[in-house]
Chains A and B, each alone.
Chain A
Amino acid sequence: MHGAARPGRSLPSTVVITLEGLTKRYGDRLAVDHLTVTVRPGRVTGFLGPNGAGKSTTMRAIVGLDLPTAGRALVLGRRYRDLAEPLRVVGALLDARAVHPGRSVRAHLRSLARSNGIPRRRADEVVETVGLGPVARRRAGTLSLGMGQRLGIAAALLGDPEILIFDEPVNGLDPNGVRWFRGLARRMAAEGRTVFVSSHLMSEMQATADHLVVLGKGRLLADAPLTEVLARSPLTAVTVRSPHAGDLAARLRTAGGAVERLDECRLVVTGLAVERVGDVAHEAGIRLHELRLREASLEQAYQELTARSIEFGAAPTEVA
């Protein structure tokens, strides 16, 4: 089987990870609350949320480590535990330190390979891929944080899987390592694989992800393309400079925008796309001296999104 096209590549399915009302309760704490999400191939899906939002629980449920209280998590339409050679389908880095400290890097990977009928040389190959070649014989307990992380990534890549799941993969990686991981994730997605990554580093996520799934208190807050999440943020605004700012402001408000007048000739418009602002000006024959998009960073958009959810949870307030 190995050496040939990866299994699953030929599947018509465009949905590879399916969460259907996934719910996980620990005692009286609801960690994941009826989460319904699909994760698709060919792109990097970022998984965001504050600590305790349920990201890791969700990822553990996908690979069968946590047993859902209700609902289910499927990969390629099947339960993970029903996969004959799971490491060839899903590679997951959940906890890079999850290695017996006394076992060597190579022995750890070879034992995993053996359980899924993956050739030994593939274990040696991924050691090189992640740059651990020089320490392959060292015991895992002697590795630095960053090297441990690379070992976890190596284990995820072992079965050359169609689906890759990474929980906080860049934790402990140095800047070079972070860039290396970004390239790896982008390359895997470009090859048509499904890449599902959680991270707290928003700037990193903005540079890596195509699509975002945002959790807050176990609930889905957003499931949208990165560009849409950024565009939807009230912090994304259009700055306009015009000698007829007053007239333009009135027309933009009529068109549905929120307008703030900075001075005699400058406006900040939110709630309207930059194209629409230009069109409104054009239709009214108003001259523009400047039309500029000020895009929110993911950091800002995310803060805003999660703050709103917390507010919503505490006391619903008026929606603009």
Chain B
Amino acid sequence: MSATLKRVGIWLGLPVALVTVWWFASAGSTDFFRPSLQRIVQAFRETWLGPRFVEEVLPSLARLAVGYVLAVILGVVIGVAIGLSVRTRALTEPVLEFLRAIPPPILVPVIMLFAGIENTMKVIVIVFGCIWPILLNTVEGVRATDEVLTDTCQVYGVKPLRHLVLQSASPQIMTGARQALAIGIILMVISEMVAANNGLGFTIVQFQRGFQIPEMWSGVLLLGLIGVALAGLFHLAERRVLVWYHGSRDADRR
């Protein structure tokens, strides 16, 4: 019991200390641009824990979800197709290298040309940015399929595509999916900051332009919390899906 308590204590120790320092150091601040933490928290409660959450935050998250899922599906399907064929890989490699090197946020103006500033644009931006880590990691993962397993499938008449390829590549695909999530959040915000009329990013920019500083800070805080929450959720999901992988790595290490 006390061992768990100790671990929780260590885990929370520094963050709590830092927040406390921030609270007291900023208390009674008269700097317009750096309000006290207390004021920020108050603004947080007023701004986000109300109808605005449903009107602005949920649509943003929904767009992220749709774009992300699409990127995962497309990235895995195309990645498997490319990974299985040496010829296709050689053919497409330079093109893919170039496309993935384009910083996704600067495609927002490009995509705006044909998708306007509505939901479609934002989802397309997210898909285009998220697909690269997933696609490239899928190709790598498929390439690295163990030949002994491939031989085993051939001998026993087991279809590799159904029973081997995706499972074997899944740790690598998860790495790509994790990177894609971080990019997706960034693009969700950027697409709304650059061109939008609603959404979390748009709202924060409005606060900034309207000099509603504590509200702006609270928006930043919310973004941070969303980032941490989504990363945590992903971590939990990954641990479930890759139970076998982590187990076998631990066994190797012993």
> Is B truly associated with A?
no
